[in-house]
Structures are given as C-alpha cells and as structure tokens.
C-alpha cells in the first residue's frame, strides 16, 4: 500500500480564539429541577473542576455560551465574582432537536499547561480524478498548550492517486504540539472510484445470490414441516 509523503500535509492550523470571556454566576441549587429552571431563564448550567479543587457549579449566559462553544476544545475565560479563571470545555451536552446547550463540563487550566485533546482533521485540495477520499480518522489526539489548541489540522490531498494513504505520523504538528494518537493510525485513504459497470455487476451478483437462497430456504422449511405433518397424521389415526 502506498503512503503519501509528509509533503502532503500543510501546517496551516488556525488557533482557537482566547477572547471567549464570559461573566458567570455561582449556582447554589442543584438537581434536574434546578437545571430546568436555569435553562428556562435562557442560561446554561455548568460545572468547573480540576487541579484538585472542589467542583464549582455555575450558571453561564445562554447565547454567549452558544457562540463561544461553536468549536471543539473552546478555551474560556470565566469571570466568577470578579476573579478570572481559564477553563477548557471538556463535555458539551446539546439538545438533540433544539439549538440549546443543556449542560457544560469545564476543566480548569493554566497558561503554559499542556493538555491532551482531540482535534479535527480537515482535508484541503483535490485528489486525482476518479478517486474517492476516505477520512478514516476524523480527529487525532495531540498534546498541546491549553492556550494554543488548533481549531483543526489541515492535510493536503492535492493530486493524490488511488492507493495513497496518510498516517497520523505523516501529519505536521503545530508548533509546541506532539502527536498522542498511535502514529500508525490511518487518517486518510484514497481509493479508486467504482465504475457504474462494476456497481451494476455487484448488484446483479447480489440479486442472483438472493434468488438462489430463496428455493433453498423453501426446501428447508418443507423438510421441517413434513415430520410434523406425518406425526399429526399418525396421532389422528391412533385416535380413530
């Protein structure tokens, strides 16, 4: 199997904004009922934890939180009673139907501290004609400073032929970041496009297989029913 050279990747990762500053309030009521009341008021219940500190339950402004958490691994500056605290969005629970955030888990981080996060892979360019580009790993795990988390890692597929593969080890890491994913993990796989003729042949073969299975299944059912019918007939004769 062919593997693409490192030149196929481009270190043009965008850094996440560190200007997500949110004024939040301490929360003294807990439980599902309290959380529903918070959401009805247009706010988001959340918890902040990490670095050995006790969890802090807070209420976040609904719209501003939604905007700040548009991207994964959002770094927030929380203002709690006038004190600022850096925190990383660890888990965001969203309503499956409505555009509403139901709850947020935030992890305390410090400037200069390294964290391990999953970062999306973004392909750029066009592969060769009559090929299909399969992104086998939509994210890769990296270790990076909390204040320098990239929005994504771009990988160029420009001109790649069928059979080309890009492994995690081929990705160019942002400055100061190291790969935490298995280096041998397949990230991008370029395959040949299946022609319409080949698709039609596969469909015809599948249909032929189904047609062959049906008579066999009918024969098996008949064989199972025959002993039962014979037994029922014998019982009827004995009763007579």
* Chain segment 71-120, per-residue pLDDT in tens: 888 899 999 888 898 999 888 989 888 888 899 999 999 888 899 999 99
Q: Residue 86: phi, psi to the nearest 5?
A: -75, 135
* The two structure tokens encoding residue 89: 């969005």
pTM: 0.68
Cross-strand bridge partners of residue 86: 77
Average pLDDT of the chain to the nearest whole number: 82
Q: What is the DSSP letter of 145?
A: E
Q: Evaluate whether 152 touches 12 at the Cβ level (below 8 Å).
A: no
Residue 136 token pair = 């086998």
């Amino acid at each position: 199997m062919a593997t693409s050279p490192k030149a196929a990747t481009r270190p043009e990762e965008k850094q996440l904004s560190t200007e997500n500053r949110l004024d939040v309030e301490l929360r003294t009521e807990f439980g599902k009922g309290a959380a529903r009341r918070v959401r009805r008021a247009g706010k988001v219940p959340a918890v902040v934890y990490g670095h050995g500190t006790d969890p802090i339950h807070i209420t976040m402004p609904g719209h501003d939180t939604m905007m700040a958490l548009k991207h994964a691994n959002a770094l927030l500056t929380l203002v709690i009673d006038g004190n600022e605290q850096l925190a990383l969005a660890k888990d965001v629970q969203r309503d499956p139907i409505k555009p509403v955030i139901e709850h947020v888990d935030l992890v305390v981080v410090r400037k200069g501290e390294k964290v391990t996060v999953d970062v999306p892979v973004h392909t750029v360019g066009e592969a060769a004609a009559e090929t299909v580009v399969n992104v086998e790993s939509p994210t890769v795990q990296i270790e990076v400073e909390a204040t320098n988390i990239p929005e994504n890692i771009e990988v160029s597929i420009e001109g790649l032929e069928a059979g080309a593969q890009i492994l995690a080890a081929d990705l160019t890491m942002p400055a100061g970041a190291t790969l935490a994913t298995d280096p041998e993990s397949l990230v991008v796989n370029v395959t040949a496009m299946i022609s319409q003729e080949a698709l039609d042949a596969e469909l015809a073969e599948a249909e032929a297989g189904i047609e062959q299975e049906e008579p066999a299944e009918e024969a098996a059912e008949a064989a199972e029913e025959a002993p039962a019918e014979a037994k029922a007939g014998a019982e009827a004769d004995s009763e007579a």
